[in-house]
Amino acid sequence: MDVLVADAVNPHNLMAARLQMALSLGWHIIVACLGVGMPAITLIAEWRGHRTGDPHVQLLARRWAKAMGVLFAVGAVSGTILSFEMGLLWPGLMGTYGEVIGLPFALEGIAFFIEAIFLGIYLYAWDRLPPVPHLLSGIPIVIAGVASAFFVVTANAWMQQPTGFDTREGRVTAVEPWAAMFNPATPPQTVHMILAAFMVAGFSMAAVYAVAMLRGRRDRYHRVGFLIPFTVAAVITPVQIGVGDWAAHFVAENQPVKLAAMEGVFETERGVPLHLGGVAVDGELRYALEIPYGLSLLAHWDPNAEIAGLNEVPTAEHPPVNVVHWAFQVMVGLGFALLALVAWQWWAWWRRRDLPRSPWFLRAAALAGAAAVVALEAGWTVTEVGRQPWLVYGVMRTSEAVNPAPGLVYGFAGVAAVYAVLTVATVYVLRRMAREKPVPVAPQERDVSDYKVV
């Protein structure tokens, strides 16, 4: 490790800052995915309800909108904290490179503004607007949600593939902001993330109704409540597997150290097997199941392709191999499990225009929401931990960017306590909302909360 840096930074501070960032980002990313995916799914239900006049579908749209209102509020504030933390925890990054990644964040700010404005109109003016204008007022929420996900992820992609700037003696001398934003990692990473958001939203919304159906409530309301979000997820999942392959090829070409950590490859070799499971101990992956030539084939479409090992770089520049390796395995494994579930459903639908009869299908679907969230977090871990010890790949180490002020540990403790309370309260409120009966005309207006829809 760089001796100067090690001296300058208190390791507890660095660890506290990393944990605080991981906690706030890992929390926000779930809510943000629901914020990106739920509006589209809710609009589909509202549109179906408007077209068919089916009161069940109309009620579903209203209840989803109400939950969306709560989740959006929580997402707005947990996202704000992240913009604070960029400066509070990583002033070394922002002071030098803030201007390089400023453009996508400014664009994200505009997108978020539009999202918040139209969400206010969509939720509170449900009873003041005629049905079609109301439906139309929801469309900017969907577009802006996807756009803000895109903009934020371009900034993260820049940290993986920093381009578009010149430095001299640690100072940025010239910037091409558009080149920084559209860096090589941007296309695969943004697409992978946006599709993940729709998978998380689709599977977790469907899971709520899968649980209800397992408890015997198999009426039309619960069936449709399951089918709409599940269908969205079922359309996205196969595409996501392909995009995931694209993203992995990108890593193989551009971040060989990360690929080596993902696969637990230490020595550079040709014809490298794919490792399933295993633990990295003393510079070697042990107990893994090996599929011969698998990795060379998957990463480069050539069974004899050369894969660079971790030992190409000094040990100090290795990311934590076991974390990255296992996170990658978990993400891929869950991705394929979700694909199998989706295939089961497609097959049953093709045969009989119905859900699979087996209760195991609903049991699996009930777990699919949690599985999608775990896959999301695992994928995020691969991206972020796989980049360590760099904050900006090859340019700035995480330890160079951290705030040297003492006492970040207390900040982390405070944030952790607040997030614990926030988690409990969010889950509690959402569960109560799922059980409540009456739904007002406008999902956020109490004035009319006794209005019975069905």
Q: Strand (E) positions, 247-294? A: 269-270, 274-276, 279-280, 285-286, 289-291
Judged by CB under 8 A, the chain residues 170 through 209 that form the site for other proteins are 172-178
Q: How far is the CB of 144 from other proteins (least distance, A)?
A: 9
Judged by CB under 8 A, the chain residues 150 through 169 that form the site for other proteins are none
Using the rule CB under 8 A, which residue among 345, 398, 399, 426 binds other proteins? 426
Under rule CB under 8 A, residue 4 binds other proteins: no
3-state DSSP percent of the chain in helix, strand and coil, to 5: 70, 5, 20
- Report d(CA 120, CA 118) in Å as an integer: 5
DSSP per-residue codes, 185-228: THHHHHHHHHHHHHHHHHHHHHHHHHHHHHTT--SHHHHHHHHH
Are the beta carbons of 308 and 316 closer than 8 angstroms?
no
Judged by CB under 8 A, the chain residues 249 through 268 that form the site for other proteins are none
Under rule CB under 8 A, residue 377 binds other proteins: no
Under rule CB under 8 A, residue 73 binds other proteins: yes
Under rule CB under 8 A, residue 407 binds other proteins: yes
Q: Strand (E) positions, 332-401? A: 390-392, 396-397
- Binding-residue total with other proteins (CB under 8 A): 82
Q: How far is the CB of 71 from other proteins (least distance, A)?
A: 9
- Report d(CA 34, CA 189) in Å as an integer: 18
Under rule CB under 8 A, residue 424 binds other proteins: no
Q: How far is the CB of 364 from other proteins (least distance, A)?
A: 30
Nearer to other proteins, 112 or 221 (CB): 112
Under rule CB under 8 A, residue 131 binds other proteins: no
Are the beta carbons of 180 and 103 closer than 8 angstroms?
yes
Under rule CB under 8 A, residue 241 binds other proteins: no
Closest CA to 438 of 175, 116, 59, 109: 59
Nearer to other proteins, 93 or 285 (CB): 93
Under rule CB under 8 A, residue 388 binds other proteins: no
Q: How far is the CB of 450 from other proteins (least distance, A)?
A: 8
Binding pattern for the stretch 86-125 against other proteins, x by CB under 8 A and - elsewhere: xxx--xx-xxxxxxx-xx-xxxxxx-xxx-xxxxxx-xxx
Using the rule CB under 8 A, which residue among 2, 6, 55, 77 binds other proteins? 77
Under rule CB under 8 A, residue 141 binds other proteins: no
Judged by CB under 8 A, the chain residues 207 through 226 that form the site for other proteins are none
In angstroms and rounded to an integer, the radius of gyration of the C-alpha atoms of the chain is 23
Nearer to other proteins, 99 or 290 (CB): 99
- Report d(CA 268, CA 211) in Å as an integer: 48
Strands 274-276 and 306-307: unpaired
Q: Is there a cis peptide before residue 188, judged by omega within 30 degrees of 0?
A: no
Q: How far is the CB of 108 from other proteins (least distance, A)?
A: 8
